[in-house]
Each structure stands twice: as structure tokens, then as C-alpha cells.
Amino acid sequence: MLSILRQPRYLRLAALMLVVAVGCAIAGTWQVYRFAEKHSANNHLRHDAHAAPAPVAAVLGPAAAPTSTGDADKFRVVTASGHYLPQHETLLRGQTTDGNDIGYFVITPLDTTANGVLLIARGFIPQNNAADKTPPVPPAPTGPVSVSARLEPGDTKADKLGQLPSDQIDTVNAAEQSARIGQPVWNGYATLLANQAGGAGLQAIPDPDLSNPAGGAEEPQHLAYVVQWYLFALLALSAPLVMARAELRRDDQPHADRPAGPATVDGDAAAKQHRPTRRERRASLDDRLAGRA
């Protein structure tokens, strides 16, 4: 075996397989990091989703001087009191609540007076027609209201209000909303919980799926990738040994399985009288590999 492995072609193969194994080990280690990252992100989102409701200003700070961008508080339930601003209501298009019906989230600003404006997604309304025709929207309450809603992060991309039909928008851009309303607006928006003021006549936006809230590959999938990449590394390291052993067996095969045939007086009869032992065959093979045969 060692005589085979010392050959230049096997040395080159071993070097190549070592490089492959290192690459696989790096990929496996990266998946370990991705698993830890996904596990932490999922736990954070689940914790926020189940946390007790708190005033929006306590969670995000004042809208004019926020202490959070909103990204780190996704799914957190916040409370707010004020009155709706229906004149600044928009429809966030391309949304769905069940994976089937496409429609709009009705985004109505809630003026909390002292702390700023919170953009409220009051509910969902199906499209039901061509995208250039906005469906009728049930009006928001006109008096003071107190609501509970679940935070969603905003977007920095332009919302394209005015470039789309009617009051439709592509994104919830707090900066652009603030410029139009003329007041500080908290980043992102909050989806109204069921049975809250402003949700009448609209489909309630369901609670988030917390099985894998961070999205992407699930945690068990990352673990499977870890095992897969480390297994590939072991296979790469063992490849030269497996191939050398296979070659050794192949060279042994003509001696061990020599076909029987009609004996001649001198050749085959003599061969039958003295069949080489396994040790003799191995020594002969080593001689041939060393170039002495």
C-alpha cells in the first residue's frame, strides 16, 4: 500500500484532495456560523412577538429622535393613542395574507400628537380587479382611538406615490411619508391586531408565522449542511487510500482468480504443482511497483 501511495500520481491526488477537504471544512464551519446566527435571530423575533405590549415611544423613542430604526423590534406589539389622518392614507400593493389573494395593506397614519405619527396597516383588501383601479376602502374612525399593533420595519426605497394609480405605493418609506404629512414619522409601520379601532370592514392581517420567522433556510437545514460538508471533507481525505487499495486488489486478481483450463505437460502441470502464496504475490507486486520486476 505504501509503495503505491508514494508514487507521484498518488502524491498529486493526495494534495488535490487535501485542498478539497480544506474547502469543504471551511464551508461546514461557515454553516455552523449560519446556524448560530439563524438560531439567535429566530429566538429574538419570537421573544419580541411574545413580549408584553408597550407604548410605541417606549420601544422606538420619540419619532423626531428615535432610539431604534425599527429593524430590531420587528413583531413587537406596541400601543398608541391619537386620531387617524385619512387624507394621507395609502395602499401598499402586492400584499397577501393567505398566499393566494393579492391585494393591498391599507396604510393610515395615526397622529399621536406628542410623540409623532405611527403608520398603521389597518387591514388587507383584495385587489379584485385590474391593478390600475383602486378598490373602495372602508373609512377609518374619525374620533380619538387607542390601538395595539405589531411593528414591521420600513424601507428606504422610494414608495412611488404619484407614479402609481390612485394612492398606491410600492414601499413604506417613513421619510417620504413624513415629508408629505409634515410631522415626524416612526420608521416602518405597525399591523393592526384583530378587533382594534380602524379594522372594521377590512380583512385582519394574521399574526406572523414563528416557525422560522427570520426566513430563509430553517435551522435543521443548516445542521444538515454542516454534516454534509464535513462528510465531504472526510471522503476527500480518504479518496487516495480507497483508490490505492482498489488498485492493489486489481493487481492481485490475476493470481487469485487464474482461470482453469486443459493442462499441458510442462507449463500448466508445473503451475498446478506450485501456486504462489499470498505473501509471495505481495512481494512480487512490491517488486514490480518498485521497477525491479
pLDDT, mean of residues 89-103: 90
Kindly tell me if the per-residue pLDDT of 251 is higher than 80: no
CA distances to 58, 68, 69, 120, 175 from 61, in Å? 6, 7, 10, 17, 16
Mode of pairing for the β-strands spanning 77-84 and 145-152 = antiparallel
**How far is the C-alpha of 160 from the C-alpha of 163, rounded, in Å?**
5
pLDDT in tens, 12-29: 888 999 999 999 999 999
pLDDT tens-place string over residues 107-166: 999 999 878 999 999 999 998 776 677 788 999 999 999 999 999 998 999 999 999 988
Share of the chain above pLDDT 90, in %: 61
pLDDT at residue 275 in the model: 56
The predicted pLDDT at position 88 comes to: 96
289 pLDDT band, cuts 50/70/90, is low
Q: How far apart (Å, rounded) are the C-alpha atoms in residues 149 and 70?
A: 13
Model confidence, pTM: 0.73
Q: Give the whole-number percent of the chain exceeding pLDDT 70.
A: 83
* Per-residue pLDDT at 32 exceeds 90: yes
Rounded to the nearest integer, the mean pLDDT of the chain is 85
Residue 75 cell numbers, joined: 413583531
Place of cell 380587479: 129
Q: Round to whole Å and give the CA distance between 193 and 287.
A: 83
Q: Give the span between the Cα atoms of 245 and 4, in whole angstroms.
A: 9
Over 70: is that where the pLDDT of 288 sits? no
C-alpha dist (Å) from residue 240 to 5, 15, 94, 259: 8, 10, 55, 31
With beta carbons less than 8 A apart as the criterion, state whether 198 and 147 touch: yes
Question: Per-residue confidence at 258, pLDDT binned at 50, 70, 90?
Answer: very low
Residue 40: per-residue pLDDT: 93
Band (51; pLDDT cuts 50, 70, 90):
very high
**Residue whose grid cell is 508445473:** 270
Quick: pLDDT tens for 62-76.
998 888 777 889 999
Predicted confidence (pLDDT) per residue in 174-210, tens digit: 999 999 999 999 999 999 999 999 999 999 999 999 9
What is the average pLDDT across 218-240?
93
The answer to whether 23 and 258 have CB atoms below 8 angstroms apart is: no
